[in-house]
Structure 1
């Protein structure tokens, strides 16, 4: 069995960040909540972020130092997947606007770092 490559997980994280950004570009909260396809697309990418981060940290536990909020991100993924009715649009929009930009910036930095060390 081939050992996993951290760059695969980082690429998945980066791609999901880019997709969420593209889905909400030029969009305000009212537009977001009135578009079920957009909401579904964003939520799907958050689920992928949580799962990719979880798998990456299982295979590369030393990376936890870069993601101090990993448990919260993974818990958010689990709520979106299994307790989706407990998450409001306000919560998701707040994460998009407040937390996601910093997370994506960190992911981009680590992607660049691992590509340089390749």
Structure 2
């Protein structure tokens, strides 16, 4: 996401900065991300991201 946004910051992906931040927290092994937080993101935000990516691919 970070690389995509550097190439084209006009893309309309909601919460893109939050996606990058979460990835960084998870990948670096920080213990500040609870299982409940991850599941909440999966159920609430992943479906929205999927739709936004599909819309971008269809452009």
**Fold conserved between structures, TM > 0.5:** yes
The answer to whether 1:78 aligns with 2:27 is no
User: Runs (4+) of structure 1 moved beyond 6 Å?
Assistant: none
Q: Tell which structure's C-alpha radius of gyration is larger.
A: 1
The size of the alignment, in residue pairs, is 59
1:93 pairs with 39, 45, 52, which one? 39
Aligned partners of 1:92 and 1:103: how far apart in 2? Answer: 15
Q: Normalization by structure 1: what TM-score?
A: 0.46
Aligned position for 1:55: 3
Higher helix share: 1
Q: Which runs of 5+ in 1 are unaligned?
A: 1-52, 114-118
